[in-house]
Structure 1
Amino acid sequence: MVLSVFRQLLLVTSLVVALPSMSVAQSGAAIQAMVERGQYADAVRQAEEQAELGDGEARAWLAHMFRHGLGVPQDIVRAAELDQVSAAAGIARSQNALGHSLIMGLGIEADERAGLDWLRRAAEAGEAQYVFDYAQALTSDLNRDPDPAEAVVWYQRAADLGFVEAQVNLGILYMTGQGVSQDFDRARELFTGAAEVGEAQAQNNLGLLHVRGEGVPRDYQAAFYWFQMAAEQDLPEALRNLSVLYESGQGAPLDEAQARRLLARARTLESGGLDQLLSSIGFPLDPRLLEPDWAEGPDVTANRLVEGGDAVALYLQAQRLVRGGGVRQDFQAARSMFQAAADRGSSAAEFSLCLLYARGLGVPQNYSTAYVWCSLAAYRGYPDAALVRDSLALEMTGAQVESAGQELARRLSPE
């Protein structure tokens, strides 16, 4: 399933003087403009002053800046607190952000049902992105009770608002018959609209319809055209599909050398093979966190947060131990810290444990244990976790995968 600088203080002063007469929409637009221009210090000051006056939109933007560390130290807990207030006041931006935070357990205790409810409330405001986000959540791996039929309704609303990704996902549901009667003609219409504006996944899927003769007459030349368009954007699936056409000479000149080159490119993009995949991924920092100065050891505040069991602080300290960032490198101690953070719901820590066990760093190498941790991280939607999990499965026996799946089910079951 396809399933986002400091200005001179004089400027700040002049803006603040005029703000009391601004409407909520005007102040929100002013803060957004400053954020988009990179004037984060001005935006923070503006948002803080307006939030004090009860401006929910300003509070939502302040939450956004805390969440991403724009003009302020990153603080996902503070972001969630601000979003809770603005969400309750009906601000769609905060309702959407709070929904994601609750589903991911980011800065707040994970609660899937509450998260979906807030995403729905944001979607009801009619913003295309929020409508799409709710539709996607309804069919996400994070959803224990997926509802593709309801997702069709919301994808359609987002598509009607011109959201191209919604057209693609809706087309996939019609193509596969999920939540709606299978309808290749409707899928083709949706894919065509998105493909013509350059959406690579839609171009690839349209090519597949032409190869299979689903909703259109079988036409390998048309398939070649659409696969080529998507392949030019380095979509691995399209590169593979184009390779097949060159290898078979259907819709393209027979060219086995070109087929091999395309296949090699797809494999490179997919980081084919577990070892190569692990090597290409490395040991990344959670992309939602700001990169610390690894040359400096943890400060007093960071140590205090670690001692207090803060999940983010534990995760960052474990990252320091892995990297030797201001401390002696110690994979065993890092594993303990990641474990403590994972116990508090950190998907980034779960993914890090997966990488430690997959590589045998500080622990005996154990693909089954790595598989469980990656599955947990993938369940929470952590980037690359599903890819690593699936690559691990290829290195495991069926019995090992089944056993790991039972362990995963046990961990996800309510106490």
Structure 2
Amino acid sequence: MEKRHLVGWMISIVFVLIAGCATDPAQRQAVLLQAEHKAQYTKALRSIEGHDGEYPARVLRGMEQLKSMAEQGYAPAQFKLAYYYYTGPASYDCLKQDTKEAYYWFGKAAEQNHREAQYEFAMLFNPKSGLKQYADAEKYVYWMQKAADAGYAKAQYALGRMNEKGEYVPQDVALAKELFEKAAAQGDGQAQRALKRLGK
């Protein structure tokens, strides 16, 4: 069993143990539901990534499982589904790119404070490198700020660059350095190089 899937299985067991200790029935039900979602999510990823059946049937089956979970509101599934819709054949040649679906599901996960989804959602709005039909500087900054505030290093670096250059936001080199420091502390190489460039 791959390390990531083993970790997912162990987390599910922990959720079940926590549920057993919960005294409030509603809390117990919520914990068990979360454990079930985690187990289903792990199963879907195993199917997509080549551990459960023949290609391409396993990938398409895994996508159906992800979509079912996404429709139930499970943010990690919404994010992963959006990722596969966005990358399409770049991930698996049996998948078609669907930017409308990617936009929809990245947005759903972002609204649930999934920080990586917030970053990817922001990138769709990037007036320079995002999708032309969604280009919107205000939304780009808004969602990048949300992801940065949530501690996502890539977003902290991206927001730092905006502040350093005065792009889409007022120029603020001091704030840029602060954001670079936060990202660099998490091991982000681009942020570390930016600090060296700024002489810090």
TM-score normalised per structure 1: 0.37
2:51 — aligned with what?
A: 106
Aligned-residue offset at 1:207 = 0.8
In the other structure, the counterpart of 1:119 is: 66
Determine which of 81, 91, 106 is the counterpart of 1:142.
Answer: 91
Tell me which residue corresponds to 1:156. Answer: 107
Which residue type is aligned with residue 68 of structure 2? R
In the aligned structure 2, how far is the partner of 1:30 from the partner of 1:240? Answer: 41
Choose which of 117, 140, 144 in structure 2 pairs with 1:166. Answer: 117
CA deviations 1:231-258 (Å, max 9, x no partner) are 1222111111222222xxxxxxxxxxx5
When residues 36 and 201 of structure 1 are mapped into structure 2, their CA distance, relative to the original with a 3 A threshold, is farther
Matches of 1:36 and 1:245, distance apart in 2: 50
**Structure 2 unmatched ranges of 5 or more:** 5-11, 21-31
**Is the contact between residue 159 and residue 167 of structure 1 (CA under 8 Å) also seen in structure 2?**
yes
Distance change (3 Å), C-alpha of 1:107 and 1:129: same
- Quote the Cα distance in structure 2 between the aligned partners of 1:32 and 1:223: 39
Paired amino acid for 1:127: Y
Number of corresponding residues: 170
Q: Can you list the C-alpha shifts for 1:208-238, whole angstroms capped at 9, x where unaligned?
A: 2223333212332322221122112221111
SS at match of 2:134: coil
The structure 1 residue matched to 2:76, chosen from 129, 132, 142, is 129
Q: Deviations over 1:359-394 (max 9, x none)?
A: xxxxxxxxxxxxxxxxxxxxxxxxxxxxxxxxxxxx
Name the amino acid aligned to 1:234: G
The change in CA–CA distance for 1:160 and 1:224 in structure 2 (over 3 A counts) is: same
Task: For 1:171 and 1:98, locate their aligned partners in 2 and report how far apart those are by CA, in whole Å.
Answer: 29
**Post-superposition offset of 1:117:** 2.2
Q: CA deviation at 1:157?
A: 0.7
Specify the code of the residue in structure 1 equivalent to 2:142.
E
Please tell me the root mean square deviation across aligned C-alpha atoms, in Å: 3.0
The match for 1:32 is: 15
Which gives a bigger RCO, structure 1 or 2 (Cα 8 Å, sep 6+)? Answer: 2
- Per-residue deviation, 1:123: 0.7
CA contact (8 A) 1:95 1:121 kept: no
Matched ranges for 1:227-238 at <5 A: 227-238=180-191
Q: What amino acid is aligned across from residue 16 of structure 2 in structure 1?
A: A
Deviation digits for residues 324-368 of structure 1, max 9, x if unmatched? Answer: xxxxxxxxxxxxxxxxxxxxxxxxxxxxxxxxxxxxxxxxxxxxx
Q: Is structure 2 residue 173 aligned with structure 1 residue 226?
A: no
- The answer to whether the 8 Å contact 1:92/1:121 transfers is no
Structure 1's unaligned 5+ residue stretches are 5-28, 38-56, 62-90, 247-257, 259-415
Residues 262-307 of structure 1 deviation map (CA, whole Å, 9 limit, x = unaligned): xxxxxxxxxxxxxxxxxxxxxxxxxxxxxxxxxxxxxxxxxxxxxx
Note if 1:185 corresponds to 2:138. Answer: yes
Structure 1 stretches of at least 4 aligned residues deviating more than 4 Å after TM superposition: 91-95
The alignment status of 1:208 with 2:161, answered yes or no, reads yes
Cα distance in 1 between the residues matched to 2:109 and 2:133? 17
TM alignment of 1:337-352, pairs within 5 A: none
Percent identical among aligned pairs is 27
Larger radius of gyration: 1
Specify which structure has the higher proportion of helix.
2
What is residue 64 of structure 1 aligned with on the other side? none
Asked if structure 2 preserves the Cα contact closer than 8 Å seen for 1:92 and 1:125, the reply is no
Question: Structure 1 residues 96, 233: CA separation in 2 closer, same or farther (over 3 Å shift)?
Answer: closer
C-alpha displacement at 1:161, in angstroms? Answer: 1.4
SS for the counterpart of 1:113 is helix
